[in-house]
A and B are shown apart, each in its own frame.
Chain A
Amino acid sequence: MKLYDLIWLIPILPLLGAIINGLVSNRLGLSKPVTNTVALLGSGLAWILGWAAIVQWVLELGIHHTHVVRLFTWINGGSLRILDGSLADVNIAASFQLDSVSALMVAFVTFVGFLIHVYSVGYMHDESDRAYARYFSYLNLFMFSMLVLVLGSNLVVLFVGWEGVGLCSYLLIGFYFEKDWCAAAGMKAFIVNRIGDWGFLLAIFATFMVFGTLEFTEFFATAAAHPEHYATAATVIGLLLFVGAIGKSAQIPLFVWLPDAMAGPTPVSALIHAATMVTAGVYMVVRCNVIFRLSPTAMLVVAIVGGVTAIVAATIGLVQNDIKKVLAYSTVSQLGYMFLGAGVGAFVAAIFHVLTHAFFKACLFLGSGSVIHACSGEQDIRKMGGLKRYMPTTYWTFLAATLAISGIPIFAGFFSKDEILAKAFEAGAGGLNGFGSTYYLLWFLGLAGAVLTAFYMFRLVFATFHGEFRGGEEAEHHLHESPRTMTMPLVVLGVLSIFGGLVGIPGHLFGHPEWNLIEGFLEPVMLPIGHAAEEAAHVSHHAVSLGLEWGLVFLSVAAAGLGIWVANRFYMGATAFARPQRLAERFSLVYKLLLNKYWVDEIYGATVIAGTLKLSRLLWEGDARVVDGAVNGTALATVGSSFISGIFDLRVVDGLVNLVGTSYDQASRQFRRLQVGFTQGYAMVMVFGAAVLLGIFYLAKF
C-alpha cells in the first residue's frame, strides 16, 4: 500500500478527532489533557501523513502525475441530456486527487492548522471542560472540511468541503453564543457565504450542462483542447465560480462578514484568515485556471474585484483601532492581491501569496491573541503600548510577520506580493487580452495598497509594542509573556515569515529561472491551452525588460519604506498620535467614512435587509387582510344564516331540534373523554388506526 493511495485518510483523521471530541468528550466532560491529545493527534497525524504522502508522490510518481484515488460512486442519478445534445451519466464519485496545487495546500493547511491547534491548547485553557471539547471538535472539523476541499477531485466533493468550512466558520465565530453579537456575527458569516454558494452551485450545474462531467481532469482537458468552442461557456462558468470565491474569500461586495468574524476566539481567526476558509476561494480560482484563462472577461472581472478590494480594505484598515479588525481588513486586502494575481494570469504567484500569507497572517493573529491574552481581553490599541518589554517573544515574531506583510526584501511576503505586482504591470505593458490600460490602473492601485499596508501594519506595531503602556496601572500588573504552547507556534511561524518566501525567489531577474522552486512545482497545474493562446502568452512575457523589472522591485520596496516612514512619524516618539489626530479633525468626513467602513453594513441594512423585511411584512399583511378577511367574511355569513335558521328553529322545529340537541349533548359527553387535548395521544390513535387498517387490507388479500 502506497501512502499516496491513502490521501483519503488525511481528512478522515481530523474528522475522527472531531467525532470523538464532539460526541464523547463533550458529553462526558472529559478532562482537558484527554481532549487536546485527541485533537492534536487528529491534526498532527494528518500533517505527518500528508507530508509523507506528498514526498512519496513526488519521488515515485513525479509532480506531473495527477494521482486520483476513487473511493466509491457517490451520486448515481441516471443520465441527463446536456447542452450539446448528447446524454451524460450523472455519476459522481467520492474521489480525491493529489496534484501539485492540492499537495501545496495540504502541506501548509495541515502544518499551520496543527500549529494553531497547539496554540489553542494554551489559549483556551480557561474555558470549561465541555466548551474546551466543543472548541477542539469544531477545530478538527474545520481541518477536515478544508482538506476535503483541497483534495476533492471533482466540483461536488470540493463543494462538500466548501460548505463544510462555511458551517465550521459559523460554529466557531459564534463560539461564544451566549453573547448576542457573537451569535449574530456567526449568522452573518453564514448568510453572506450562502450568497456566494448560490453562485458556486449554479457554476456546478452549468459545468455539468456544458461538459457532462464534474471531474477536474476531464473537463479541464476538454476545455483546454477546444478553447474557441468553450469560450462563452467559460465566461459564464468562470463568473459564477468567482461569485462563490467572492463570498468565501471576502471580496467586494461580500467582504462584510470577515471583519465580524473576529467575534470568535483569536486562534479561530488565525485559522480562518490563514490556513482555511478564505484561501478556499483563491484555491478554487487557481484550480479552475483553465476555465478562467479561456475567458478574458472573467479574468478582467477577477482582476478588477481583486485590485479594488486590495485598496478599499487597506484604506479601512488605516483608521481601525481594534487590533483584530486591522488584521481582518489586512486579510481582505491581501486576498485582493491574490485575486489581482489570478486575474492577470499569475496563478502561481496567487497561490504563492496564499502560502506566505498563511505564515505571516497566522503569526500576526496568534501574536495578537497573545497580546489580547496579556491585556486581559483588551483589543483596543489605544489602550496598549510598550508591550515590547513584557512580551519579547511575541514582539519579535510579530515584527517579523509585519515586515513580511509590508514587503520588505528577504521576508516572505516580499517575494509573493512583488511577483503579483510585477505580473500586473506586465499585463498592463503587454496589453493582456487588450485591456492594457485597465491592468496598468490595477497595478497602480496595488502599489498604493502596498504603501497603505506597510503604514497600517507598522501603526499597529508602534501603537501596541512601543511607547508607554496606556491601559492603566491595574492592567499593567497583569502583563506577562504567554505560556510555551502559545509562543512555540509563534516562533515557528515567525521563522517561516522570514524564510518562507525563499521557495519563490524571482530567479529570472538573476538569469536563473530554476531558482523559483514554487513556479517549477506548480507548473503542471497550468494546462497549456491551444496554440494561439500559448504564443500570446509568450509575447506578453517579454513585454517588460529586465531593467524595468528591477526598477519595479525597487519601486515596491520604496513603497513599503514610505509606509513605514510615515507610520514612524505618526506613531513614534513624543508627539505620537498628535499628527494623525490633527489629520482626522481636518478631514473629518474622510475619517468618518473610513472608520465606519464606507457604511457598507449600513447600506446593506437599508437596502437588502430592510427590503427583505418589507417583503415579509407585505406577505404577512396580505395574509392578514385577504386570507383572514375571507375567513372572517365566512364567519359573518355563517352568523347571519345562523340567525335566520335560529328563528326557524325556534318557531318550527323546536322540539325536534331539542331532541337532536339532547342526543348530541349525550354523545358529546361520551366523546369528550377521547378529546383530552393531548397531542401525542392523537398521534398514537392515528398510528394504531393506520395499523388496524393495514391489518385489514392485509387480511383482505387472502
Chain B
Amino acid sequence: MITATHYVALSLILFCLGLVGVMVRRNFITVLMSLELMFNAVNLNLIAFSFRLGDLEGQVLAIFVITIAAAEAAIGLGLIIALVRLKDTVALDEADVMRS
C-alpha cells in the first residue's frame, strides 16, 4: 500500500537531488533542470497531501506552481542565452565579474 509517507519520502529524495544539482553542477542548463526537479518535488508534496486529505486545493496550487515554473524556465533560459552571448559559455562559474 502506498501511503502519503512514501510520496513525501520520494519528494524529499527528489528535492535533495535537485538541491545538490543546483549547488554542484557547473552547467547553467543542468542547474536550471535541477531547479525544476526541486519545483516538482514540492509539487509532489502538495499533491501527496492533497490526495491524503481529499482536498483539491493542493492540486490547484501545484498547477499554479507549474505555471510559475514555466515562466521561471523562460527567464532562466533567457539568462542562459544572455550569458552565452556575453561570455560564449554556459558554465556558471565563469560568470564572475564581481570577483576581484
Which residues of A are at the interface with B, using a C-beta cutoff of 8 A?
A: 76-78, 672, 675-680, 683-684, 687
| A676 and B96 in contact, given A77-B56, A77-B59, A78-B56 (Cβ under 8 angstroms) | yes
| B55 / chain A contacts, CB cutoff of 8 Å | 78
- Chain B: interface residue count, which band? 10 to 19
Query: Does B19 have its Cβ within 8 Å of any Cβ on chain A?
Result: yes
| A676 / chain B contacts, CB cutoff of 8 Å | 96, 98-99
- Contact at A679–B92, with CB atoms within 8 Å? yes
Q: Least Cβ distance of A569 to chain B in Å?
A: 57
Identify A680's interface contact among B51, B92, B100, CB under 8 A: B92
- Pick the 5 closest A-B CB pairs, nearest first: A677-B98, A677-B99, A677-B96, A78-B56, A676-B99
- Other than the given A77-B56, A672-B100, 9 more pairs (CB < 8 A) read A78-B54, A78-B55, A677-B97, A678-B93, A678-B96, A680-B92, A680-B93, A683-B23, A687-B23
| B92 / chain A contacts, CB cutoff of 8 Å | 678-680
| B41 / chain A contacts, CB cutoff of 8 Å | none
Q: Give the docked Cα–Cα distance between A684 and B31 (Å).
A: 13
Name 8 interchain pairs, CB-CB below 8 A, sorted by A: A78-B56, A676-B98, A676-B99, A677-B95, A677-B96, A678-B92, A680-B24, A680-B92
Query: Does B48 have its Cβ within 8 Å of any Cβ on chain A?
Result: no
Q: Give the docked Cα–Cα distance between A676 and B59 (Å).
A: 40
| A78 / chain B contacts, CB cutoff of 8 Å | 54-56
Q: Least Cβ distance of B31 to chain A in Å?
A: 7
Identify A678's interface contact among B22, B31, B54, B99, CB under 8 A: B99
Give residues 41-67 of B contacting A (CB, 8 Å).
Answer: 51, 54-56, 59
Judged by DSSP, the binding face of A is mixed
Q: Give the docked Cα–Cα distance between A235 and B81 (Å).
A: 46
Q: Give the docked Cα–Cα distance between A677 and B92 (Å).
A: 10
| A679 and B59 in contact, given A76-B51, A672-B100, A687-B23 (Cβ under 8 angstroms) | no
Q: Give the docked Cα–Cα distance between A687 and B96 (Å).
A: 21
| A680 and B31 in contact, given A76-B51, A78-B54 (Cβ under 8 angstroms) | yes
- Contact at A679–B95, with CB atoms within 8 Å? yes
Q: Give the docked Cα–Cα distance between A204 and B31 (Å).
A: 36
Q: Give the docked Cα–Cα distance between A684 and B19 (Å).
A: 9
Q: Least Cβ distance of A676 to chain B in Å?
A: 5
Q: Give the docked Cα–Cα distance between A680 and B31 (Å).
A: 9
- Contact at B22–A680, with CB atoms within 8 Å? yes
| A675 / chain B contacts, CB cutoff of 8 Å | 98
Q: Least Cβ distance of A81 to chain B in Å?
A: 12
Q: Least Cβ distance of A671 to chain B in Å?
A: 12
Q: Whose C-beta in chain B lies nearest to the C-beta of A684?
A: B23
| A677 / chain B contacts, CB cutoff of 8 Å | 95-99
Q: Give the docked Cα–Cα distance between A567 and B17 (Å).
A: 65
| A680 / chain B contacts, CB cutoff of 8 Å | 22-24, 31, 92-93
| A683 / chain B contacts, CB cutoff of 8 Å | 22-23
| A687 / chain B contacts, CB cutoff of 8 Å | 19, 23
Q: Give the docked Cα–Cα distance between A677 and B98 (Å).
A: 5
| A76 / chain B contacts, CB cutoff of 8 Å | 51
Q: Least Cβ distance of B64 to chain A in Å?
A: 15
The proximity string for B residues 1-29 relative to A, scoring 1 for CB distances below 8 Å and 0 otherwise, is 00000000000000000010011100000
Q: Least Cβ distance of B83 to chain A in Å?
A: 11
Q: Least Cβ distance of A591 to chain B in Å?
A: 43
Q: Least Cβ distance of A541 to chain B in Å?
A: 49
| A678 / chain B contacts, CB cutoff of 8 Å | 92-93, 96, 99
